[in-house]
Structure 1
């Protein structure tokens, strides 16, 4: 039995490994062409395909079995070639001759051995060359012809020396990668070939076993700004001599990741005192101790990473000398092992970092957050303590009191710190905080509101995933009206059916997450006042009863106040119906998700207000029928539709329109057709909706003539309606002019008799005098003469006599109707009464009403004893809102002034 296991185990491992390999990198049968790029990778090719488009600019033939790059002359426009992971033994000397525009060449992980100048002599435009993971041996000066090259990678080629040439070359080189070679000594003239490379800045020497650096080795590349020594096993003696050589360079960034810097003394970096280093990476060094003053030699340092170390103690002088530091990364820098106690961070440990803006302490472990641990961080903007072990259980008003000295602090990340309570005023010292992250904790309390007091500028609070242990009250968020994003997913217990709603004070809220809370009881006022809400997530609750027609009191229409919603998620709520007005008014909704409910029959117009909808998720419901009356509006502008895994009824009545829409739409429909399956009738059972035959439902021949006739009639009717609606006033204007000209006179015979001294007596309120002067008096230039009491009354005469006498001498009495006129006591008590009396006494139809405002008949009759029905239609005029209609108004007024006074 044991022997059988020994035989079968290797076979199983081989089969499993082969299966995983095939799954991870499946072989393709054809190249993929997209945006002038041909992807022929992972195709097991022996040669470059010859049937690709001739205009491609990028070719990927990586992960094949190529031994040469023949046939590339067919694609002369190539700019980028990726031939990595093949079996190339050389770079053909005519490669760049046939592909003259080549700029990027990747032959990583091949078997290139000898490379000489003639192989690259025509590569004038080459800017990036990757020769890593080969068996490279340089013959002569192969890189001397690459005048445009900016990036060269010769890593992992078993090179013994960093010297890639004897003569100055590569004038535009910026980055040189020599990682993973067998270089142990940096000799004096190793980089002399870059002496004329004025743009050179980056040198990557990762994973080298460096033991010695000769004097003057960086002299030729004194402009060096970035040096990467990651994963190099370097000794203290080597670093001392290396720092001396780097002192004469323009070094700005130094990376020493995983270089076995276990302890830093106060003289470790003394040799770098004369440099201008701004970025230092010391991560992943299993560093356990940093002596006080170890960083005093970096007065210009702006970024320091100590992540992934094992520091045990930070003191108030650990970061002495880093007065210019902007970012400090301590992620996993202090950790607790199984055999040791928690590391310690003393009070004032960061007080030297007066310019620090971003402090990351995620995934750390230390004894406690003391009152002054963060003192002195006057420029701090971001503090990340997420997933840290500090023993913090209750956040009090003293926990972060030291951050009162950090007025610029905007983000505080307390994710997954084991917090179970927020005391009153817990964040009262953080008045400028905009983002507070408290998710993945164990907060178990009722939020009364005073816990968040003092957060006067807060924009985002995340309390999601708090074990559904938080209950809300009416005042929970009363102190944070500036809040825009609130995340309470998987955090709440108890009811939200309270008046007023807990969210009523959040008038600026745009994002609300209430998902995964098993909410079953809310009222219609839940979102009242949230007029700016754009995103609402309520998936994985229990809202089914609230939208039932049989619900006591009717369906709860809790979305009625959220008219600005653009995203609504109601997945997995057990919904089996949507009330007719549930989505009414959501004209800005762009994404609606109802995935995983029990929806079947939907009201015909339930989605009619969703004109902006772009994404609709209805998969995994019980929808059988998709008809135009229900889905016509939401599917008209859709970008993506998810309606798979529904039991469709593939009959003419239920699916005909949907079938036609699926075959004609430009929208994306993931899962179509394989996941759109018919459930009924039996003829289509378990077949794709695509198999449904629409022609079986139609016989258009008898109705073709009727269709053409009715369509023509409807179009003509629509044309006429639109013409009358938009241009009716213009037609009436020209009609009036034509009629008046045909009658040869705009004036009544009584005018020529000279019986009247005025064409009209104008009655208006004092507030409307400017309009009268601007809009009516210009007609006096056309031989019309109006009586205005303020202008034409004779001084010394009583007002009553003036009104009586001049109304009798006016052919028409013209009222300028506004609300102010109806309130004018003179008009109501005398002028209107006398006008009516004179009309009845003389038995003439001489009243003209001009409405500047919309006044109801009731108000008109109550104030002036007039009604629109008492006058002829052409004597009732309305002041137009559009400037271009004013000439038509004046023409109507002329006609009214010239019309007869005789009562028909």
Structure 2
């Protein structure tokens, strides 16, 4: 036991007034200055700093060790001072004299004891004064000089009486807080000092041990509109007498939260029928029973809170007399203990609430939803049954039949009610419903469409978090074309790869949530027809294969029909690439989230259409390079960038532009620089991107020039090599022609006529030589002189020069055209082309087997076809 005390004692000492060591503010080294506001709190100061700007109007010196405020005279423009949680013992007499503009003074939790009129005599402009948690003892009329004060807090000061003065004062006071004092009796003249306070409205008497209220105690504050008695220990006999004293006041709001009112009878609030109370709070009272007719004294009540009680039953007369009620809060009002059965809500329990608009029964335990449980709620707009414990398992077309009398019902919250099935036309009686919340249930069925039939005005359906047990069909939403928001996160099983898409009828849909469904198979028409879709959430699925280039049939561009998107979430889908056209046409996209994927190399123009992007989430990917060509467009108008926890390659080629952008941008980059770390090279490993030195990249300029020159030289060399390889013979041919013509032009024209040494140059293939010798050579014996390359070529001369030279000395050129000739590369290319340039006039028909260019030259006159 002693050891336990030693352990708990330091923890108790560190936890004081709700500020534990784990959550305490750390001590600051200097004051925070912003415009005319200065924050010097939590600095362990002994005195107010004297080196602050002279024009400050707001000063926070709370949570220090101040014993006086003498230095404040240096700042005559001060209007608001927070000196709470210090060691101040008095309010200096000249404080308000040196601070003529002071309007708010907070001295909560100090050690102020004796306070008199002279301490506040110059505080004419003070509007708000907080003296709570001190040891106040009033001397004379200390508050009588505060003509402008509207809010006064003297709670937790061990005051024995609510009487703060003997003469009328505080003419403009609106709120008086007397909570946590030792007041047990409200005497007749306690509030006489407020008799001239025409603005007074709010009296807070929380955490008192009231035992008696004397006649006429509220008479001098008849304008009272708000009375708060929360957490006060009030006996059952005290409430009736209090209500009698409140009769005739202007009371509108009465709060009796946690005042130990275990049971209420039909006489508890008698007397309040003469008031105009519109708000009554009876929450957290461990209340077990409300007698019939208890609320008959509140004909004008508009809001009633009974939350956090332990009621066992509601009857048809529990709410008798509340015909004007607009809001009823029954959250955790009926609960089930381990030893008791479920509480009962009888039929017609709410039928007196003909004006009720909002009924909250969240976390309420009751036996069942009966046929007439909600009958009579003619103006109901919102019904919240979320997290309620009932016997409801299947929703049929009779479950909410009683709500057919509520034509204005717009929102029905059935979250976490243990529903496992929706029967056909389950909500057919709720034709005007706009919001249906069915999340956190156990719905396990295939939606065929007739389950939602009758919801002709529905705008939002939330079926998320249903244990992935709902499967869709082509007709699942055929009866709800007005739907604008559909949430199916962690609700679906089976495939969405169907034609037409289940969402095809939802032409007005603007928000679609398909997250956390392990979706792997969809087709390009998933969002077809959803031209108004603004928000698409598909995080935590398995879409990686669909965007792979290697996917059979190519990438599935399932976003192509939703170009009006403003928010797109594809987090944690295993994506390692984005197809080039996947984000084409998204000119209105403002938020793109791709965190937690495997993205690395991105196409240069993949984000080029995202000119309106404001928020980009790319954290926790494998991005190594951030270059202008890829990210220049999306980062140009960005508001927030999230790209932390990526393995950046801190080299000039990969990160130079991004590093310069980070150091110059006004965009918010959360986590920078701590979470933007380099992975490579070794010189920058595990260092921040901010440490990357852009100046080191300037040394690369000469190497870049050398690289360009060497690359150009290599390319030129390759080009020349390929040109010579494939077209060298042509170049050599034209060079020979040019040389021979130039040399020929230098000869004397007088000898040109006799320049022919041969009558004809015979061109034939080697295989046709026997035919030439047999058919053409005999003609030489008569009158012709032919040139045959095999016979007349001069030894030692190149074949090319021999052909060029002797063709020029031949009057005619004879082609012996055979199939072999056309296959011979020398004959087909060089010899034929050279013969082409030797001719002058066309003299043979175009039907020859040579190129059509050949018959345009006059020298080609003889052809032999074999």
TM-score range, shorter-chain basis? 0.7 to 0.9
- Deviations 1:543-575 (CA, angstroms, capped at 9, x unpaired): 000000000111011111111111111111100
| SS of residue matched to 1:896 | coil
Distance 1:62 1:4, change over 3 A: closer
| 2: CA distance, partners of 1:781 / 1:349 | 138
Is 2:614–2:640's contact at 8 Å kept on the other side of the alignment?
yes
After TM superposition, the runs of 4+ consecutive aligned structure 1 residues lying more than 4 A away are 1-20, 699-838, 895-901
Distance 1:85 1:755, change over 3 A: farther
Distance 1:184 1:698, change over 3 A: same
Residues 246-255 or 72-81, more deviating: 72-81
Residues 697-706 or 442-451, more deviating: 697-706
Is 1:578–1:602's contact at 8 Å kept on the other side of the alignment?
yes
Shift of 1:159: 0.5
- Deviations 1:751-790 (CA, angstroms, capped at 9, x unpaired): 9999999999999999999999999999999999999999
- Deviations 1:699-748 (CA, angstroms, capped at 9, x unpaired): 69999999999999999999999999999999999999999999999999
Is 1:729–1:888's contact at 8 Å kept on the other side of the alignment?
no
- Deviations 1:775-807 (CA, angstroms, capped at 9, x unpaired): 999999999999999999999999999999999
Distance 1:816 1:600, change over 3 A: farther
Distance 1:16 1:210, change over 3 A: closer
Distance 1:474 1:790, change over 3 A: farther
Give the number of the structure whose alpha-carbon radius of gyration is greater. 2
- Deviations 1:795-825 (CA, angstroms, capped at 9, x unpaired): 9999999999999999999999999999999
Is 2:437–2:462's contact at 8 Å kept on the other side of the alignment?
yes
| 2: CA distance, partners of 1:743 / 1:81 | 109
Distance 1:43 1:707, change over 3 A: farther
| SS of residue matched to 1:743 | helix
Distance 1:681 1:196, change over 3 A: same
Distance 1:812 1:672, change over 3 A: farther
Residues 648-657 or 48-57, more deviating: 48-57
| SS of residue matched to 2:176 | strand
Shift of 1:659: 1.2
Distance 1:563 1:190, change over 3 A: same
Shift of 1:596: 0.7
| 1: CA distance, partners of 2:506 / 2:793 | 62
Shift of 1:19: 12
The unaligned stretches of length 5 or more in structure 1 are: 839-886, 890-894
| 1: CA distance, partners of 2:141 / 2:759 | 107
| SS of residue matched to 1:123 | coil
Is 1:748–1:898's contact at 8 Å kept on the other side of the alignment?
no
Is 1:740–1:746's contact at 8 Å kept on the other side of the alignment?
no
Distance 1:243 1:561, change over 3 A: same
Is 2:319–2:349's contact at 8 Å kept on the other side of the alignment?
yes
| SS of residue matched to 1:723 | helix
Is 2:733–2:834's contact at 8 Å kept on the other side of the alignment?
no
Shift of 1:59: 1.4
Aligned length: 848
Distance 1:159 1:825, change over 3 A: farther
Distance 1:217 1:546, change over 3 A: same
Is 2:117–2:141's contact at 8 Å kept on the other side of the alignment?
yes
Shift of 1:615: 0.9
| 2: CA distance, partners of 1:62 / 1:779 | 129
Shift of 1:52: 2.3
Is 1:747–1:899's contact at 8 Å kept on the other side of the alignment?
no
Shift of 1:74: 2.2
Distance 1:806 1:692, change over 3 A: closer
Distance 1:165 1:696, change over 3 A: same
Shift of 1:78: 1.8
Distance 1:239 1:585, change over 3 A: same
Shift of 1:651: 1.3
Shift of 1:378: 0.3
Distance 1:831 1:672, change over 3 A: same
The equivalent residue for 1:503 is 503
Shift of 1:36: 2.6
| 1: CA distance, partners of 2:334 / 2:781 | 93
Residues 814-823 or 345-354, more deviating: 814-823
Distance 1:3 1:39, change over 3 A: closer
Is 2:15–2:21's contact at 8 Å kept on the other side of the alignment?
no
The equivalent residue for 1:431 is 431
| 1: CA distance, partners of 2:637 / 2:150 | 48
Residues 63-72 or 335-344, more deviating: 63-72
| Root-mean-square deviation over aligned CA pairs | 18.0
| 2: CA distance, partners of 1:335 / 1:776 | 125
Shift of 1:223: 0.6
Residues 404-413 or 683-692, more deviating: 683-692
Residues 415-424 or 801-810, more deviating: 801-810
Shift of 1:93: 1.4
| 1: CA distance, partners of 2:483 / 2:165 | 62
- Deviations 1:224-271 (CA, angstroms, capped at 9, x unpaired): 111111112222332222211110211111111111111111111112
| 1: CA distance, partners of 2:329 / 2:212 | 31
TM-score norm. by structure 2 comes to: 0.80
| 2: CA distance, partners of 1:792 / 1:275 | 139
| 2: CA distance, partners of 1:630 / 1:806 | 65
Shift of 1:54: 2.4
Residues 308-317 or 56-65, more deviating: 56-65
Is 1:38–1:56's contact at 8 Å kept on the other side of the alignment?
yes
Is 1:747–1:898's contact at 8 Å kept on the other side of the alignment?
no
